[in-house]
Chain A
Amino acid sequence: MSDLLTLRHVDVGFATDEGTVSAVSDVSLTVEEGEIFGLVGESGCGKTTLAMALMGLLPRTASVAGSVRFGERELFGLEAEEFRQLRGDRISMIFQDPMTSLDPTFPIGAQVAETITAHRDISKQAARARALALLGDVGIPEAERRYDDPPHRLSGGMRQRVVIATALANEPSLVLADEPTTALDVTIQSQMLDLLRDLRGRLRTTIVLITHDLGVVAQICDRVGVMYAGQLVEVAPVADIFRTPRHPYTQALLAALPSEHQEPGSLRVISGRVPNLTSPPPGCRFSTRCPYVMDECATVPPLAHETGEHLIACWLSEATKEAAHPDHASTGGAA
């Protein structure tokens, strides 16, 4: 499979009164065509900011650096109009809460049709017909009758289907799904995940799934990237993340998952707190909470191949040390 999306040293900062908040720091990442890539991390770790940067929708206070290649194109530095033409057409986004991501005064069908007419020069009737077909595809019964309904006539699950139909209207190559199931109850959640998986199978759409729900990741993702405080700390196939997590943060995160063997009333937590991102610790940002912290942690560890497709950014890893000091390479192993 070829690479659809390649991020190189992406930084996103926000200018605030207290100084610049480094929301995303030096993220390098490759997403392959047709895969479902999970981006996990706790609230405020930079997942959504990264997605907004890919959409060209960051607020004016944001500054970006690095490079994002999408297919053959460099996204950073695109003119506003060029970015608009990509949005909703080649790259689209599914938002977290279907209760707020649909315009309350706008018929649902028209919101889908609008995505089409914003990019294609087709008649209103043709756009309506296409929107109706899409609503049917995502499992809205009696789409013809529902077309002119305002969003408040639909249940949460139905609304999220409309949002998904909107995102898929122009058969984009990349869909950024930002917590698409968080606001839904568990049965609807699994229906949505089935729908996404099904659509990926039919349309070969690449999906970047942003979530903090490791259960969702386990169900649907092919590969996973773990973010902490704006840094990408580990990337691995989904099975490896759960079976052999290598980064201390990922290990701590998985250990914090409640299990059935656990004593009732006790939850394992990661001690300490997320660093203030206006003045993050130099080097590894997890170093302030890491049980294995050492002197090297004051410099940023590069993301390096541990084994096969498993990448990790931690000085505990031999591969990381090798990537940082290629001259001292003694043993092989990195691919």
Chain B
Amino acid sequence: MSVAVVAAGGKPRAVWRRGILASRKGRWGFAILTVLALIAIFAPLLAPHDPNAIDATQILHAPSLAHRFGSDALGRDVFSRVLFAYRVSLTVAVGSTLVAFLVGVPLGLYAGYHGGWVDTAIMRPIDMVLALPAMLLAVALIAIIGPGSNIATLAIAVIYMPILARVVRSSTLVVVSQTYIEAARARGTRTRSIIARHVLPNAIGPAIVQATILMGFAIQIEAALSFLGLGVQPPTSSLGSMLADGRDVLTQAPWVEVFPGLAIAITVLAFNFLGDGLRARLDPKGVSE
């Protein structure tokens, strides 16, 4: 969230109060995500069982005190598995969006500030990536490099980078035409300082909103990839691979499927709430949509 603080350029505490926490949605999103992040971090302490321990005596048991979310076809504790899988999914989602943000924002900023051939040279290839269907792109990348959670992170980052670059570029174009940028030039401020100190803080808001919402969807993309067996590889599990496991026993033991599904739904919802809360603060005119 340090980026949000930079964006408003003021005192961090004031930004919190006026910002994310000012709207009810923002408060909810922030609260849920805090809890979820804590769960992900402390999963090893919270999990009652080894998530990968197979127990032939506990196959497909319904939720009980021993197995709060029941057990799966191999007798593994679904609750423990969800905790650990959630950790993996969240890491992939946050990591991929962060990578996309760190690469896409400078590119969009640079393209928007300089315009002309610099803009064309940066944005045309990005537009080409953007033109490809996202899932197809991810699947193709994994087909080339091979599956795994790092590759899934990279694939999602490749999908997201052009989106964030575009958002930043368009808000940069608006900012660059403002008088205060011309005034900064008239003061003799160096180009790199103008970009870093005047353009970036004024143009970054919509990208932060967009990135927050994209993080939620990254959970879904990761789940889809892992469901197809292209993401996280066994024995590690993610929410997506758990969905795949549960599909076969859906009619007998719906709990194997339902709990990871719920985890996905709640996370996406929380990220969207947070995104809406941020939008109200950083992007009052709805530039990003």
Contacts and interface: CB of A to CB of B under 8 A. Distances in A.
Interface string A228-248: 000000000000000000000
Most chain A C-beta atoms within 10 Å of own C-beta, residue among B186, B190, B197: B186
B116 A85 contact: no
Interface residues of B, number: 22
A328 B189 CA distance: 53
A60 B198 contact: no
B10 to A, nearest CB: 7
A169 B183 CA distance: 14
Interface stretch (B74-82, B174-182, B229-237, B257-265): B174-182
A166 B180 contact: no
A102 interface: yes
A92 B184 contact: no
Interface in B174-208: 178-180, 182-190, 193, 197-198, 201-202
Interface string A59-98: 0100000000000000000000000111111001101010
B180 A102 contact: yes
Contacts of A115: 187-189
B22 interface: no
B183 A118 contact: no
B180 A86 contact: no
Contacts of A169: 187
Contact of A92 (B10, B187, B198): B187
A127 interface: no
A95 B8 contact: no
Nearest to B189: A118
Contact of A100 (B9, B180, B185, B193): B180
Contact of A101 (B10, B183, B190): B183
B111 to A, nearest CB: 16
Interface string A93-115: 10101001111111000010011
A55 B182 CA distance: 11
Nearest to A96: B179
A104 B202 CA distance: 8
Contact of A102 (B116, B183, B186, B197): B183
Given A85-B188, A88-B187, A105-B202, A57 B10 contact: no
A115 B189 CA distance: 7
A44 interface: no
Contacts of B186: 55, 57, 87-88, 92-93, 95
Nearest to A163: B183
Contacts, number: 75
Nearest to B186: A93
Interface residues on A, range: 20 to 34
A160 B113 CA distance: 27
Query: Chain B at the A interface: mostly helix, strand, loop or mixed?
Result: helix
A95 B187 contact: no
A48 to B, nearest CB: 11
Contacts of A84: 188, 190
A119 B187 CA distance: 9
A95 B187 CA distance: 11
Contacts of A166: 183, 187
A242 B276 CA distance: 60
Nearest to A151: B180
Contacts of B198: 103, 105-106
A245 to B, nearest CB: 33
A60 B116 contact: yes
A109 to B, nearest CB: 14
Interface in B65-84: none
A100 B193 CA distance: 19
Contacts of B193: 114, 118
A156 interface: no
Interface string B5-30: 00111100000000000000000000
A106 B183 contact: no
A114 B189 contact: yes
A216 B10 CA distance: 38
B132 to A, nearest CB: 33
Contacts of A60: 116
B10 A88 contact: no
Contacts of A136: none
A87 B179 contact: no
Nearest to B188: A88
B8 A100 contact: no
Q: List 9 tightest A-B contacts by C-beta distance, closest first.
A: A88-B188, A105-B9, A88-B187, A87-B188, A100-B179, A115-B187, A93-B186, A101-B183, A103-B180
17 contacts: A55-B186, A57-B186, A60-B116, A86-B188, A87-B187, A88-B188, A88-B189, A95-B186, A100-B178, A104-B180, A105-B198, A106-B9, A114-B184, A114-B193, A114-B197, A115-B188, A169-B187
